[in-house]
Structure 1
């Protein structure tokens, strides 16, 4: 939980970095003494007044809380960090441990948050074992996601890391929600990156399932969204997946050219683990053509 003291400390840090006095920022909205107390964490402040102060700082609330939240990862974010690390290291024992902890907490409390976490972890496990998740468990995830009107970071994390377990039909409906719910996500850069990343993940799943029409549909949508030049990873993944699509569609020469161009770019950046993983996918697809 973010405390008032932390908010005040960050506010003061930003104010001083802009060389603004307490009086400059307080304006006509509140007294200098009150603002000083807020910066010291001694007084709370209403949201309306806080927004006015941010306006005087020329800082958006998204920017302020983006900076503030960097050191406040949610429980789900902390869990997914541990799970992702174990998955990348092929550490099935660690994944089973995390799964057992979450399912145990669910059985003890009945809190479905733990159940959703456990199923999410299981989706990582089956990627290593080749097994499948039961339909009942997958329905828990999809029912939960369909039942949420306004997705937050938690729902995005669960969805993004459970895609491989979700049916093609349900996945397509959920991805459309991501693409077209502009009221929820807005159009700032960080939200655009989330949207593009989730659609890219879905394209990868569609290609694995040989759902080429759906893969092409969302490749075109990504193209229309126009990936910013600063999104290097997303631009690489788009070109790589587009190449795989053309290979699977029978236009092998075109596909190989795009894939090898993408691999060349990532090779130049020196991201070795990503390069090895994508080269392995590429070699397996070429091998399946023989």
Structure 2
């Protein structure tokens, strides 16, 4: 839907006149031309108009897109769902559609980077994939992210999908900008889960690398985030990982650690995650043999 048509639709649904909407922003005639699609207003004027409608900018652009996510958001959603469901055929469909977009769209850096991401995800599922080749496929995304002084939503999505290919030293260099952007986007619609996922994944990454101080830092940040929005599952997973960190940081004895883990695992089981609890127990006993659950 065109911007002008969307503005007209909202205005008429709220029984407002063109004169009342335009007042203090632009002339009525100028606003009439905006609705007719003859001119496009400056973004600050659009925001002023939306305030009169009591409609947020994200909601307005959702309406403009036909009550759908933007194409970019939709792509990220489809890729994420396909990956989580291990649906490689769907990923290959997305890969093919990205390769078939128009030449103009191919020049769009975001499309190229999403294609790099999908190529990497598909390659990861090949039986004999090697890490060096995977890093080569995803390197353009890494180069793009490390070239930026400021990140936006697209960039945070990209980082969360490929953070495992970054060297720990790279992540340390990026940590300040990363934490600043997570804080800035804390209240942006639909960003809470992404921010929580980034912090949780970084915690797990440093835990696997036996960098317990840094793992502990990211897990504590993730727990704070999960508490704010009552994300109990995410909070429990991070608390379990933090208990493991604290054991290796000599903050708790083996007995205290086992008791603390048993409590968290019991809560997870009561929430209906019995198979996950069994999986976590196996993983702890295999990876952290000094701890017994």
Correspondent of 1:244 among 227, 234, 241: 241
User: Could you tell me whether the CA contact under 8 Å between 1:200 and 1:238 is conserved in 2?
Assistant: no
Provide structure 2 residue ranges, at least 5 long, that are not aligned to the other structure: 248-253
Q: Distance in 2 between matches of 1:92 and 1:153?
A: 25
- Root-mean-square deviation (CA, aligned residues, Å) is 3.8
Moved more, 112-121 or 207-216: 112-121
User: Is 1:64 matched with 2:60?
Assistant: yes
Q: CA deviation at 1:87?
A: 2.6
Q: Secondary structure at the match of 1:161?
A: helix
Correspondent of 1:20 among 16, 36, 39: 16
Aligned residue in 2 for 1:255: 261
Aligned residue in 2 for 1:271: none
Q: Distance in 2 between matches of 1:286 and 1:171?
A: 25
- Deviation string, structure 1 residues 160-215 (Cα, Å, up to 9, x no partner): 111222222323433442212479x3452434554333212222333344433222
Q: Secondary structure at the match of 2:86?
A: coil
User: Could you tell me whether the CA contact under 8 Å between 1:86 and 1:95 is conserved in 2?
Assistant: yes
Q: Secondary structure at the match of 2:2?
A: helix
Q: Distance in 2 between matches of 1:147 and 1:26?
A: 42
Equivalent residues in 2 for 1:90-169, closer than 5 Å = 90-92=86-88, 95=91, 116-121=113-118, 122-123=120-121, 125-126=123-124, 129=127, 131-134=129-132, 135-137=135-137, 139-169=139-169
- Deviation string, structure 1 residues 219-253 (Cα, Å, up to 9, x no partner): 22234557433x53xx4212212113314635122
Q: Which runs of 4+ in 1 moved over 6 A?
A: 100-105, 109-112
Q: Distance in 2 between matches of 1:276 and 1:125?
A: 32
State TM-score, norm by structure 1.
Answer: 0.71
Q: Distance in 1 between matches of 2:4 and 2:281?
A: 54
User: Could you tell me whether the CA contact under 8 Å between 1:203 and 1:219 is conserved in 2?
Assistant: yes
User: Could you tell me whether the CA contact under 8 Å between 1:26 and 1:32 is conserved in 2?
Assistant: yes
Q: Distance in 1 between matches of 2:275 and 2:150?
A: 34
Correspondent of 2:25 among 25, 29, 44: 29
Q: CA deviation at 1:254?
A: 0.8
Residues 90 and 192 of structure 1, relative CA distance in 2, 3 Å threshold: closer
Equivalent residues in 2 for 1:72-87, closer than 5 Å = 72-75=69-72, 77-87=73-83
Pairs aligned (count) = 270
- Deviation string, structure 1 residues 125-153 (Cα, Å, up to 9, x no partner): 42675844315445443222110223233
Equivalent residues in 2 for 1:130-279, closer than 5 Å = 131-134=129-132, 135-137=135-137, 139-181=139-181, 185-190=184-189, 191-224=191-224, 227-229=227-229, 232=231, 235-247=232-244, 249=247, 250=254, 251-265=257-271, 267=272, 275=273, 278-279=276-277
Q: Distance in 2 between matches of 1:80 and 1:48?
A: 28
Residues 155 and 24 of structure 1, relative CA distance in 2, 3 Å threshold: same
